[in-house]
């Protein structure tokens, strides 16, 4: 049941918790989506939230705990006993269970695993604990539907009924050989329309996209985006089927990478949250702020080199903000497009020269339009023609230079294995400020014969 979460509803839940009115809480929340329940829990204190979760069915509670923000979940679970956590983990898919367990101290993690009753589920969890969380093996769940290539349809359907008890969503039926090597996939429609005695070997599609367990999570996301997959099977180096990764886990990866790139582009060097400590927030922001500050000091000293020119024509100083701001904005735009392309591993770069020519052509058009508008604006408002020409020529040159820098810098960094997102934001802005000032005063020196 989709609900509109209002302040009035939250107040009613708080009041019901205080009165221990379990009937009201269950009648209003038991049929809500986990995401809506989480919205309510975020407005309650820890004790109230735990009381609500304890009342709900274990399966629903497991979904809620799986979807909670990681930092909030770590603190929230400190209020649960090992037995209570084990009860919820028993209802989770193996990948979600491992994520939760990896957030616990080693001793507590082992104690919780020892309390789990489903030994097959325990085996799945222990197997997944061996993988790093940022690789395909760390993202996959062991629960899936698989059938043997030598079976017939009737036997296959019986096996699907048995396995489906542990699989919440059946995205695909995977076909394996006697050594569990993935050989293809079977469509549900094909299976249903076939007779019980039809061999699976005559029905399955050998064209199946899979990914090795050691592959990076970003590569997993790129493959699933490229082929528009809801789920992808994970295999080992020999091609043996190990598990599957579903789209909900990949969306989480995409969101995390987008957030990290956004933070890097704005000069934040760590993956931080609003509720992190003051020290960590400061540490993450200071490095590139210092770069910007040093760039500003260098810019001031750079302007000082042309103090004599400014003394002759003071109006030159009036247009320095225009030059630096335009260079920074153009550089950020160019770098953002390149970084977006680099982040999508399924997109192959054209010839470097062709791409560079395209960027420069765009820069020429933008530069001509902007410099023409600035020239017309200055003449309209009585600025000397010579000075207007200097500003227009300098602005055009800065647009070309900033576009070149914003395009080339991320590509060079990516080639040498450096995250290109770090080149955006403060770095490119500061560099373009200094180059823009150099171009501006150089043009002024030449055209005005200073």
Residue 140 belongs to a domain:
no
Q: 246 and 287 share a domain?
A: no
Q: 162 and 283 share a domain?
A: no
Collapsed DSSP state (helix, strand, coil) of residue 182:
strand
How would you class 272 by CB atoms within 10 Å of its CB: exposed for 0-12, middle for 13-18, buried for 19 or more?
Answer: middle
Q: What is the pLDDT of residue 292?
A: 67
Q: How many other β-carbons are positioned within 10 Å of the β-carbon of residue 18?
A: 10
How would you class 2 by CB atoms within 10 Å of its CB: exposed for 0-12, middle for 13-18, buried for 19 or more?
Answer: exposed
Q: 319 and 428 share a domain?
A: yes
Q: 65 and 149 share a domain?
A: no
Domain boundary among 220, 255, 290: 255
pTM of the predicted model as reported, rounded to 2 decimal places: 0.65
Residue 68 belongs to a domain:
yes
Collapsed DSSP state (helix, strand, coil) of residue 244:
strand
Contact assessment for residue 309 and residue 441, using Cβ atoms and an 8 Å cutoff: yes
CA 338 to chain centre: 17
Q: What angle do CA 87, 90, 96 make, to 5 degrees?
A: 115
pLDDT in tens, 154-200: 998 888 888 777 777 788 899 999 999 999 999 888 888 899 899 99
Q: What is the pLDDT of residue 276?
A: 60
Domain boundary among 77, 99, 132: 132
Q: What is the pLDDT of residue 368?
A: 93
Q: 285 and 410 share a domain?
A: yes
Q: What is the pLDDT of residue 16?
A: 93
Q: 3-state secondary structure string, 55-67?
A: HCCHHHHHHHHHH
Residue 388 to residue 396: CA distance in whole angstroms: 12
Q: What is the pLDDT of residue 419?
A: 67
Q: What is the pLDDT of residue 346?
A: 47
Residue 288 belongs to a domain:
yes
pLDDT in tens, 243-271: 999 988 888 787 777 766 666 655 555 55
Residue 399 to residue 319: CA distance in whole angstroms: 15
Residue 272 belongs to a domain:
no
- Long-range contact list for 15-18, CB < 8 A, 24+ apart? 17/44, 17/48, 17/51, 17/52
Per-residue confidence in pLDDT tens, the chain, 450 aa: 545 788 899 999 999 999 999 999 999 998 899 999 999 999 999 999 999 999 999 999 999 999 998 888 999 999 999 999 999 999 999 999 999 999 999 999 999 999 998 888 999 999 999 898 889 999 999 989 999 999 999 998 888 888 777 777 788 899 999 999 999 999 888 888 899 899 999 999 999 999 999 999 989 988 998 888 989 999 999 999 999 999 888 887 877 777 666 666 555 555 555 556 667 666 666 776 676 677 777 777 777 777 776 777 777 788 888 888 888 888 878 877 777 666 655 454 556 667 778 878 888 999 899 999 999 988 888 888 888 898 899 999 999 988 888 888 887 777 777 667 665 666 777 777 888 888 888 888 888 775
Q: What is the pLDDT of residue 169?
A: 78
Residue 256: which region, alpha, beta or left (left: phi > 0; alpha: psi -120 to 50)?
alpha
Domain boundary among 103, 132, 161: 132
Residue 225: name the closest of 198, 205, 196, 245 by CA: 245
Q: What's 370's domain CATH number?
A: 1.10.357.20
Sign (positive or negative) of CA dihedral 440, 445, 448, 450: positive
Number of folded domains in the chain? 3
Q: What's 66's domain CATH number?
A: 1.25.60.10
Residue 147: name the closest of 80, 79, 218, 201 by CA: 201
Q: What's 201's domain CATH number?
A: 3.10.580.10
Q: 248 and 383 share a domain?
A: no
Contact assessment for residue 420 and residue 413, using Cβ atoms and an 8 Å cutoff: yes
- Half-sphere exposure at residue 417, Cβ-oriented, CA atoms within 13 angstroms: 0
Residue 234: name the closest of 146, 109, 309, 325 by CA: 146
Q: What is the pLDDT of residue 385?
A: 87
Q: 182 and 230 share a domain?
A: yes
Q: What is the pLDDT of residue 358?
A: 80
Residue 138 belongs to a domain:
no
Residue 267 belongs to a domain:
no
Q: 293 and 437 share a domain?
A: yes
Q: 11 and 117 share a domain?
A: yes
Q: What is the pLDDT of residue 327?
A: 84
Q: 46 and 161 share a domain?
A: no
Torsion angles phi and psi, residue 42, rounded to 5: -65, -20
Residue 444: name the closest of 323, 273, 278 by CA: 323
- What range does the domain containing 98 cover? 7-132
Residue 87 belongs to a domain:
yes
Residue 159 belongs to a domain:
yes
Q: 163 and 238 share a domain?
A: yes
Q: 24 and 128 share a domain?
A: yes
């Amino acid at each position: 049941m989709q609900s509109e979460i209002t302040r009035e509803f939250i107040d009613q839940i708080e009041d019901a918790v205080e009165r221990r009115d379990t009937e009201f809480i269950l009648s209003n929340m038991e049929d809500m989506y986990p995401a809506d329940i989480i919205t309510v829990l975020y407005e309650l204190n820890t004790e109230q939230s735990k009381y609500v979760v304890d009342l709900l069915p274990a399966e629903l509670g497991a979904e809620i705990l799986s979807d909670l923000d990681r930092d909030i979940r770590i603190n929230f679970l400190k209020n649960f006993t090992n037995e209570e956590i084990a009860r919820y983990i028993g209802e989770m898919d193996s990948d979600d269970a491992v994520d939760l367990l990896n957030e616990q101290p080693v001793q507590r993690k082992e104690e919780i695993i020892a309390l789990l009753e489903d030994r097959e589920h325990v085996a799945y969890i222990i197997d997944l604990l061996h993988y790093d969380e940022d690789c395909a093996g760390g993202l996959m769940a062991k629960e899936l539907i698989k059938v043997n290539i030598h079976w017939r349809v009737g036997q296959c359907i019986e096996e699907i009924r048995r396995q489906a008890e542990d699989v919440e969503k059946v995205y695909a039926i995977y076909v394996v050989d006697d050594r569990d090597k993935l050989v293809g996939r079977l469509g549900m429609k094909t299976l249903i329309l076939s007779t019980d005695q039809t061999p699976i070997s005559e029905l399955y599609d050998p064209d199946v996209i899979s990914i090795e367990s050691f592959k990076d999570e970003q590569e997993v996301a790129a493959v699933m985006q490229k082929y528009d997959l809801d789920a992808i099977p994970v295999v080992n180096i020999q091609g043996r089927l190990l598990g599957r990764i579903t789209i909900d886990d990949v969306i989480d990866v995409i969101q995390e990478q987008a957030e990290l790139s956004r933070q890097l582009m704005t000069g934040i060097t760590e993956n931080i949250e609003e509720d992190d400590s003051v020290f960590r927030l400061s540490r993450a922001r200071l490095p590139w702020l210092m770069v910007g500050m040093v760039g500003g000091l260098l810019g001031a000293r750079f302007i000082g080199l042309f103090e004599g020119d400014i003394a002759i024509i003071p109006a030159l100083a009036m247009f320095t903000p225009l030059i630096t701001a335009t260079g920074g904005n153009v550089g950020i735009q160019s770098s953002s497009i390149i970084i977006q392309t680099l982040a999508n591993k399924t997109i192959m770069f054209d010839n470097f020269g062709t791409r560079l020519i395209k960027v420069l052509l765009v820069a020429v058009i933008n530069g001509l339009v902007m410099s023409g508008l600035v020239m017309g604006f200055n003449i309209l408002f009585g600025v000397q023609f010579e000075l207007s020409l200097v500003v227009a020529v300098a602005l055009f040159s800065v647009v070309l230079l900033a576009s070149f820098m914003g395009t080339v810098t991320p590509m060079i960094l990516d080639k040498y294995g450096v995250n290109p997102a770090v080149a955006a934001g403060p770095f490119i802005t500061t560099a373009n400020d200094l180059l823009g000032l150099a171009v501006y005063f150089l043009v002024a020196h030449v055209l005005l014969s200073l």
